[in-house]
Amino acid sequence: MRLYYRPGTAAMAPHAALAEAGADYELVRVELDEHGNAPPDYLALNPWGRVPTLVDGDLVLTEAAAIVLHVADRFPQAGLVPPIGTQDRAQVYRWLVYLTNTVQATYLRWRYPERYTAVPAGEAGIVACEAEALRRHFDSIAAQLAGRRWLVGDERTGADLYLFMLTRWARSQEPPAWDRPSLREHFLRVLERAGVARMMHEQGLELPEWALARA
């Protein structure tokens, strides 16, 4: 299995899933040119030029949440999703769809407003609206995590890996996502997983001082 990535991007959750599953995987870093374009050999796999992309035999799979679910199905013993047909599995689906379609999309509009308007003067308004939306999303997630260890059930799932990624992304929000106590504890709890620690090391990602003290 080969995962194409760039450090700190949406490849974090799939990378952590592979490591948590004990998969035999190879990492391929996608380098962008001075114009921000991916090389032709990568565009042949993913015409959008974005990461991640997973190659598993003759399967070429894009979209981070889809890759997490594929890894979960390929390695059921890893417990990345609950058993088929259970309510907990349905809730993992709900969380992954919400995190990728709503929270991640909101973050992207906040972080890259120039992608969503042809009028530069409108970028500040997009940032302001999406910043408030992100605050509401993370407030809601924090409230749902209060008194819980994981998003679904009694064990970590792929949804927790995805939330870990988005919590780190929102470190420059005001306030940072992980300033909410239940989100901070969740972030630290996920960081204790061996596969997540391996992902952070292999991607060369830094941790805040308060997380290093607990690592």
Quote the CA–CA distance of 179 and 173 in Å, as a whole number. Answer: 10
Are 50 and 134 contained in the same domain?
Answer: no
For the stretch 128-152, pLDDT in tens is: 999 999 999 999 999 999 999 999 9
The answer to whether residue 57 is domain-embedded is yes
Are 69 and 15 contained in the same domain?
Answer: yes
Are 36 and 96 contained in the same domain?
Answer: no
Are 157 and 92 contained in the same domain?
Answer: yes
Residue at which a domain ends, from 78, 100, 120: 78
Are 148 and 54 contained in the same domain?
Answer: no
What is the dihedral angle through the alpha carbons of 172, 175, 177, 183, rounded to the nearest 10 degrees?
Answer: 150
Q: How confident is the model at residue 213 (pLDDT cuts 50, 70, 90)?
A: confident
The answer to whether residue 157 is domain-embedded is yes
Are 91 and 189 contained in the same domain?
Answer: yes
**Domain containing residue 18:** 2-78
Are 159 and 97 contained in the same domain?
Answer: yes
Q: Number of folded domains in the chain?
A: 2
Are 70 and 33 contained in the same domain?
Answer: yes
Are 111 and 180 contained in the same domain?
Answer: yes
Are 56 and 114 contained in the same domain?
Answer: no
For the stretch 84-104, pLDDT in tens is: 999 999 999 999 999 999 999
The answer to whether residue 208 is domain-embedded is no
Q: Is the pLDDT of residue 17 over 70?
A: yes
The answer to whether residue 37 is domain-embedded is yes
Q: Percent of the chain, pLDDT > 70?
A: 100
The answer to whether residue 31 is domain-embedded is yes
CATH (domain of 137): 1.20.1050.10
Q: Is the pLDDT of residue 61 over 70?
A: yes
pLDDT at 215: 61
Are 48 and 95 contained in the same domain?
Answer: no
For the stretch 148-186, pLDDT in tens is: 999 999 999 999 999 999 999 999 999 999 999 999 999
Strand 26-29 relative to strand 2-5, pairing:
parallel
Order the strands of the 26-29 sheet from edge to edge: 26-29, 2-5, 53-56, 59-62
pLDDT at 184: 97
Q: Give the count of alpha carbons within 13 A of 110, CB side only.
A: 20
Residue at which a domain ends, from 57, 78, 99: 78
The answer to whether residue 14 is domain-embedded is yes
- Extract the tokens encoding 205: 């990602």
Are 74 and 91 contained in the same domain?
Answer: no
Taking the model in full, what pTM does it have? Answer: 0.96
- Contact by Cβ (8 Å): 151, 160: yes
The answer to whether residue 214 is domain-embedded is no
